[in-house]
Structure 1
């Protein structure tokens, strides 16, 4: 049974028991009604005080406040259906994170044409995701119709804050839009076929070790984790380092996107996405 559900049930039973006790106290005149109401309000406040928003989790909020770079992030809790955003609407460059978008668009196009990927497309798709190969992404770019094709696909996903540009990887986006892409890759009732979803997930879960930073950081080795990162020295805003992916265990299932700009070097950005991911897992696993 989901730990999150069990904790909510226990909290509800405790609260009902507390209300019943308060009712008895009032009934037998041990407290005036006004005092009972005050106690009741305090009880409700304490039970509801558990933070729902991971970005308000004290350890994470403190860390985010300490950074000199710009960070925007989002988390979708599959178990509760809740979405949480940090600095919503702030747009950052995707860098190589866009490669899962390119692959999703390619698979959707192939499905619409009632065909399988060619051997060349499959090889390029594999190295584009597992090794973040740029030449492979460039080879697949015309296969989806360049930026116009990607924009058309993203519109079907419900993107509202992203516009692809002629140079793949330089489009500005938000975590909110990227969470929509992850939902299409991972969750049922998707634009993508079940086989296409499994294909992308398999590649995201087998990224080469040195590129498995960000979302997998701090997560148990038994968890199912898919990731695609992006890193690029943007001329105007310094190093852009991003991480997008999903984490699934017996008790927890969430999608997350972390985007960082104005990093003084690549390692500073990598450290940031690692620490944020670690703290997101710490928050989720404590619930």
Structure 2
């Protein structure tokens, strides 16, 4: 079985909602994940990096024809927020993927951390940009805030404090080509939603007000973007999705990260995928994977 546990590190501290949300059932065996591997849903091979897209996020202007016989890759990571086991369960190879728009959560976390360091809160203009960037996945707003935080160097400096170890910022303004892993996204989510002592004491790089602000925006995503890890939720979710068609291959990166609540229990979930033949195919893959991974983690 391609299943393993990673130690949880406390931080230093678009496609309408499709179908009914499935409620993941606790007690689903890890064999469910193995079945996905056998069926080709979980690909154990690392994702192959492609040439930069015309735009850092969203469809390329003149995408190449989709390569035939392509097989997508996907990795999921799940952390129970309420259980005793504080290790992240990783399904598939924890290899780097393009972030596409999920990087926008990291951009906002960096902005807030920098503002905290300066002893200030975000001004009205910054808050308007942040709201558009997270709730509507607006790229112009992301460009502006990416510049403000100091591009990749600013992101990476903040990530060291947030506990991320495997995320490398995209060159120049290609923030959508930032490389990250599923386990690193769980670390980021942990810094936002809090795990262990963080949620209890308010300690950690991001203060309570900063974490509450990011959480609120992620819980009010535009309705046509509320797919992804939310398919695994029962009673509540907060998320950010990313989608990117690569101009070199015509294939899609589809990602989703966030917190879901199932049967009263909270889980942090990150599902990253690459090589999807279409955006809809990628969304279906991410949602199936999220449901199976959360159900498997609940049954541990």
In structure 2, C-alpha distance between the alignment counterparts of 1:60 and 1:89, rounded to whole Å: 15
How far apart are 1:62 and its partner, in Å?
1.1
Gap regions ≥5 residues in structure 1: 1-51
Out of 31, 34, 37, the residue aligned to residue 61 of structure 1 is 34
How many corresponding residue pairs? 233
- Is residue 96 from structure 1 mapped to residue 107 from structure 2 by the alignment? no
Out of 56, 75, 78, the residue aligned to residue 75 of structure 1 is 78
TM-score (norm 2): 0.73
* Structure with bigger gyration radius: 1
What is the aligned partner in structure 1 of residue 191 from structure 2? 184
Query: Contact (CA 8 Å) 1:242, 1:260: kept in 2 or not?
Result: yes
Query: Contact (CA 8 Å) 1:239, 1:265: kept in 2 or not?
Result: yes
In structure 1, C-alpha distance between the alignment counterparts of 2:187 and 2:299, rounded to whole Å: 25
Query: Contact (CA 8 Å) 1:252, 1:284: kept in 2 or not?
Result: no
- Is residue 275 from structure 1 mapped to residue 288 from structure 2 by the alignment? yes
Out of 228, 233, 238, the residue aligned to residue 214 of structure 1 is 228
How far apart are 1:244 and its partner, in Å?
0.4
Gap regions ≥5 residues in structure 2: 1-25, 42-70
In structure 2, C-alpha distance between the alignment counterparts of 1:118 and 1:53, rounded to whole Å: 47
Query: Contact (CA 8 Å) 1:215, 1:244: kept in 2 or not?
Result: yes
Query: Contact (CA 8 Å) 1:53, 1:84: kept in 2 or not?
Result: no
How far apart are 1:151 and its partner, in Å?
0.9
In structure 2, C-alpha distance between the alignment counterparts of 1:88 and 1:265, rounded to whole Å: 22
Cα RMSD of the aligned pairs, angstroms, is: 2.1
- Residues 74 and 284 of structure 1: is their aligned pair in 2 closer, same or farther, counting only changes over 3 Å? closer
How far apart are 1:157 and its partner, in Å?
2.0
What is the aligned partner in structure 1 of residue 181 from structure 2? 174
TM-score (norm 1): 0.76
The 3-state SS of whatever aligns with 1:117 is: coil
Structure number having the greater helix percentage: 1
How far apart are 1:115 and its partner, in Å?
0.9
Query: Contact (CA 8 Å) 1:186, 1:201: kept in 2 or not?
Result: yes
How far apart are 1:251 and its partner, in Å?
3.7
What is the aligned partner in structure 2 of residue 199 from structure 1? 213
How far apart are 1:284 and its partner, in Å?
4.6
Choose 188-197 or 76-85, whichever is displaced more. Answer: 76-85
